[in-house]
Structures are given as structure tokens and as C-alpha cells.
């Protein structure tokens, strides 16, 4: 029996908490891992505060903790 392929949902997060909740709830049954990327700058190049760390332990996001990998994209260092 072939192993079922794993599904990853990788996306940029810019602080849209409502959209994040909708995405997580809608895709929870088909996605194995959500990979949330959050940049240290806005799309206009302005420094921005990281939002996800301050909401990750709040409902409803805490219930998805085991399916979420969070990564900071630091545009100053290229990673």
C-alpha cells in the first residue's frame, strides 16, 4: 500500500488574524502542516512587529499548535 502524500500549506502572514483562522479551520482536515511565514518588514519595506507570537497561545490558534510551523523571514539578513 502506497503511503499517503503529506500536504503542506505554506503562506505569508501579515497580521490578518481573521483570515488565518478561516484558513486553518477550512483546511484542517486536508493539511498535515501549516507553515506560517512572517516577515520583519511590511511590503513597503517598513519595519513591522511580529504578530503571530502574541496570538499563538490564544483560541482558536492554540488548538492548531501541533499542525503549525512558524518561521520568521528576516529580510535584513536574507533569511
Based on the number of CB atoms within 10 Å of its own CB, is 39 exposed (0-12), middle (13-18) or buried (19 or more)?
A: middle
* Residue 69 in domain: yes
Distance CA 67, CA 70 (A): 10
Per-residue pLDDT of the chain (79 residues; tens, 9 = 90+): 889 999 999 999 999 999 999 999 999 999 999 999 999 999 899 999 999 999 999 999 999 999 999 999 997 765 5
pLDDT for 16 = 96
Domain count of the chain?
1
Instruction: Classify the C-alpha dihedral 56-61-62-65 as positive or negative.
Output: negative
Task: Calculate the CA 4 to chain-centre distance.
Answer: 23
The pLDDT, as a whole number, for residue 77 is 66
Residue 1 lies in a domain: no
- Does 78 fall in a domain? no
Confidence (pLDDT) at 1: 80
Q: Which domain holds residue 27?
A: 8-73
Amino acid at each position: 500500500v502506497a503511503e499517503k502524500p503529506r500536504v503542506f500549506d505554506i503562506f505569508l502572514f501579515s497580521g490578518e488574524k481573521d483570515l488565518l483562522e478561516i484558513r486553518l479551520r477550512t483546511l484542517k482536515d486536508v493539511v498535515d502542516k501549516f507553515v506560517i511565514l512572517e516577515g520583519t518588514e511590511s511590503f513597503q519595506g517598513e519595519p513591522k512587529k511580529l504578530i503571530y507570537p502574541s496570538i499563538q497561545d490564544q483560541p482558536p490558534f492554540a488548538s492548531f499548535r501541533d499542525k503549525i510551523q512558524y518561521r520568521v523571514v528576516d529580510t535584513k539578513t536574507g533569511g
